[in-house]
Chains A and B, each alone.
Chain A
Amino acid sequence: SLASPSSLQGSELHGWRPPVDCVRANELCAAESNCSSRYRTLRQCLAGRDRNTMLANKECQAALEVLQESPLYDCRCKRGMKKELQCLQIYWSIHLGLTEGEEFYEASPYEPITSRLSDIFRLASIFSGTGADPAMSVKSNHCLDAAKACNLNENCKRLRSAYISTCNREVSNFERCNRRKCHKALRQFFDRVPSEYTYRMLFCSCRDQACAERRRQTILPICSYEDKEKPNCLELRNMCRADHLCRSRLADFHANCRASYQTMTSCPSDNYQACLGSYAGMIGFDMTPNYVDSNPTSIVVSPWCSCRGSGNMEEECEKFLKDFTENPCLRNAIQAFGNGTDVNVSP
């Protein structure tokens, strides 16, 4: 290893430190001639070559080793940060060369979410002014309440009507709407409106079909979700991975919602908030998930794809799809949000 003994010891002693974001790490690297030249070399190595041919090259190998010790190696991005796309481009420019080809689960380029659902409940009760647990009132339609609450907030109302009108505008007999614009408007809504509002609309709990139908309609699925044909899920994943933002959001979903049998809630670190956040983070991309029907109690979400035509990859396809449709972590997180409960985890 090229690291000095002191720096290695330091990281072992202090354990994990919050990483710098990749835009900043890129600046730091650019300021140092050794790092910046190695980074340029690596980018050239990665362009158009697979990992093995790249690693066979001495110069590429050396560049990789130097960069593993630079701030670029551990850098992360923040959701909705300024220059998010640039940050992710820097992240993947290094990590696509480091990971083993096409991994089933990829590392998330985003910083871990440390806040908890209970933080949202506290805020939500301040907003509603009652302080009452939303699950207490039996008769009310929570999804309707969520829409009302959004309309009472200028920012939420503005961005919501923006995506509703964009996603509702028919283009022609053959094209129901401009999907690209609809997705963009949805991303803006989920990126810029606080999760107190957006989660309430997306994850409200329901007792009847009308409520569940409203919940299903939240993202205007006829435009943003449904399509003429259902692609194969693995092909949809390939499409998503071709786009840095979609790839990152999917990796983040896998990092935060992937079911674990090692925790009580089935969620990684028992963090519901992180799972819900990365679920909402996929809305407005190729992998946009939604409720598959308006069943009030059994919650099944899925991207718009199926495992038909998988050939010998059916098992892998089912495994990918089940992370949405039969994921106990995601299901528990959605239900916990609807019930207004969170797990008590000692900090």
Chain B
Amino acid sequence: ALGLYFSRDTYSEKLYVDEPAGTPLLYVHALQDTRGEVPHFHLGQHLYSTYRSQSHKNDWFQINEDTGLLYLNQSLDQRALEKLSARNGGFPLRTIYLQVFLSPKPFQEHECHWPSCAKVMLFIINATMPACSSLKPREFCFLETGLSFRIKENKPPGTFHQFRLLPVQHLCPNISISYQFHRDEDLPFHSDKDTMEVSMKHSLDREQKEKYELIAKCTVRDGLREEDVMAPFPVTVYDEDDSPPSFPTGINTASAIVEYKRKEGTVLAVLQVFDADVVPSSGEIQRKYTHTMLTSDPWVTEFFRVEHYPNETSYTSNGSRVRAMMHVYKLVLNRSLPITESRSFQLEVLVNDTDFQGPRGALLLYFNVSILPVSIRFPNNTYYFSVNRNAHRYAQIGKVCIENCKEFHGVNVTYRLQSPSTNCTALGIITTPESTTGTLFVNDSSVLQRSECTEMQYTVVASDRQSKKQAKTLLIISIEGNYFPEEEGCPISCAVNKKRLECEECGGLGSLMGTCQWTFGDGKGISKNFSTCTPSLKTCPDGNCDAVESRDLHICPQDCIRGEIIGGHERGEWKGIKAGYGVCNCFPEEKKCFCEPDDDKEPLCDEVCRMVI
């Protein structure tokens, strides 16, 4: 690799028309990577204009190979300018740029990227050089484009800037100009009064300070007049990978216990690694900051993985902020673990900062993993529920659930019912996998109506699909109340009803007591509490289309509709009405719901009026 580097990626200067051949423009500076390196500067063959690729062979500019002085070797006159403008794709020619390369001989032109190439921007001013007397003090001192410098840490010190603006000084030699830093005590930079060059006193360390916000002061003396001009002079210290990774609080071990949460993607333990370097940068960090699980057990690599999240952080050093990196390593379940699995082991993970050149570039993380088996059992000996004789199909009677069922994640438990007799069996059970529960519902309402049936008995079986482990418990349901035949002409769905009276007269799919229930909204515009008719206030509308409700859209279209909703409303995440205006009633056959105020007088509110005005 090339060791030398430019102190800036872009240099700039103004260029007036008809400036004479020989006019010096500026110096470029190269800094060393190792002591003794000598720069050779070369210009790229072409002149480029903004946004256009190759524009013209460079016939006007030359660079001194040893000093880095760029100068005009031929005056850029009006005719030359026209020639350049004609190839600028219609844009006015305001800026041209050159490429300066820094390389040992033989010189080979390649793509121009810092650190081995810099651009020199020349701002073309379509006028001849102004008279010295017409220039403002600032124009003798600094360019409008501003200064900024790049210095690599741990490299030999060197000269990196020349303050003088060469063309102005060339034109107006009688004006005295001097530069100094506004406040230069204990700064690692030095500006020479005679040469007006800026150099480093010693090599820099980014981990100590990464930005120097200096102020350069320029004093212009013209006869008796004297004026000071200030300009910011920022120096950025560039990082190299010179710090090994470490544990921020000395902790290199984390424990993980796997019990009920066995699902793929569960984060089991977290460890942090600190690195004072900000290289490699985020684009290449995953490639250069590697981690390896040190295990020969294929079972471990099948079921566990380590995820790496690099995160920029910062610390304070001598009162200034210095960036650093905090690497977070998470031990994650790669696959759902079977409930019968039981073992403990220590997993070592090797983290390697591959760019770091010293020893200790690698660290070991230790994860102590204990996997406990879980068993499937019911908490009660027997479940007792009751059901009203007038309950409709899909009425939800209760839930059954194995011990710690709320804690389970990633375990596939299903519930089923076994009945000793074929008489009086009216129920069904549906497993809700997310909560590992079973919901009991009426599957055959005609059985309930039979007067000889007063009780139902079942055995509930919970089984784990993967391990085939089972647990059983007894379930007794008493059938209560007297049967009342339903009114003529009642709809299948409670949700069809728009008025309280008609709602409470009839039953519908899912109703517990034989009649639907009315819920009053709060009347506050588009609200989650809208008025509606429902089979059961406990389950509908609750914003969740549960396992039973999703069996048939007639049960609770308020939670389950995917079709059109007319009127002021807000849709649920997947389906259903999240919020509605006034009363919401639905027609499951047509897959439509309406949300409108009771009095039918106010106009409907559409999507736009809801959202914006």
Contacts and interface: CB of A to CB of B under 8 A. Distances in A.
Nearest to A309: B282
Interface stretch (B106-114, B158-166, B419-427, B480-488): B106-114
Contacts of A51: 111
| Closest 4 pairs (CB-CB, A-B) | A311-B281, A309-B282, A107-B51, A16-B90
A168 B112 contact: no
Contacts of A18: 90
A311 B90 contact: no
Contacts of B85: 15
14 contacts: A11-B86, A16-B89, A98-B54, A99-B53, A100-B53, A101-B113, A171-B573, A171-B574, A172-B573, A309-B282, A309-B311, A310-B282, A314-B278, A315-B236
B90 A19 contact: yes
B279 A15 contact: no
A3 to B, nearest CB: 11
Interface residues on chain B, size class: 35 or more
A52 B112 CA distance: 12
A106 B573 contact: no
B49 to A, nearest CB: 10
Contact of B239 (A151, A168, A261, A311): A311
A312 B279 contact: yes
Nearest to B83: A12
A13 to B, nearest CB: 9
Contacts of B607: 161, 164-165, 168
Given A160-B608, A164-B608, A173-B573, A311 B51 contact: no
A178 B208 CA distance: 46
Interface string B102-136: 00000000111100000000010000000000000
B184 interface: no
B173 interface: no
B613 interface: yes
Interface in A306-347: 308-315
Nearest to A260: B94
A105 B50 contact: yes
Interface residues of A, number: 51
A112 interface: yes
Contacts of B110: 52
Nearest to B108: A52
Nearest to B150: A315
Contacts of A148: 613
Interface string A59-98: 0000000000000001000000000000000000001001
Given A98-B54, A151-B613, A170-B573, 19 more contacts: A52-B110, A98-B53, A105-B50, A106-B51, A107-B51, A107-B52, A107-B89, A112-B90, A147-B613, A151-B608, A160-B608, A164-B608, A164-B611, A232-B283, A269-B92, A309-B281, A311-B279, A315-B148, A315-B236
Contact of B281 (A112, A173, A313): A313
Nearest to A234: B283
A170 B90 contact: no
B571 interface: yes
B144 interface: yes
A157 B607 CA distance: 11
Contact of A108 (B51, B53, B238, B281): B51
B525 interface: no
Given A101-B113, A161-B608, A168-B611, A235 B51 contact: no
Nearest to B281: A311
B599 interface: no
Contacts of B239: 311-312
A33 interface: no
Nearest to B53: A98
A74 B571 contact: no
A40 interface: no
A107 B54 CA distance: 12
A99 B111 CA distance: 10
A255 interface: yes
A169 interface: yes
A262 interface: yes
B82 interface: yes
Contacts of B90: 16, 18-19, 112
Interface in A228-261: 232, 234-235, 238, 255, 260-261
Contacts of A262: 94, 123
B601 to A, nearest CB: 23
A169 B51 CA distance: 41
Contact of B145 (A161, A235, A261): A261
A262 B83 CA distance: 22
Interface string A201-219: 0000000000000000000
Interface in B279-335: 279-283, 285, 310-312, 323
A309 B279 contact: no
A127 to B, nearest CB: 18
A305 B281 CA distance: 15
B236 to A, nearest CB: 6
A262 B148 CA distance: 20
Given A12-B83, A95-B53, A255-B51, A311 B145 contact: no
B82 A12 contact: yes
A171 B310 CA distance: 30
Given A147-B613, A151-B608, A262-B94, A311 B83 contact: no
A148 B609 CA distance: 11
B224 interface: no
A99 B86 CA distance: 19
A111 B384 CA distance: 78
The residue in B90, B285, B606, B607 that gathers the most chain A C-beta atoms within 10 A of its C-beta is B90
A312 B278 contact: yes
A52 B312 contact: no
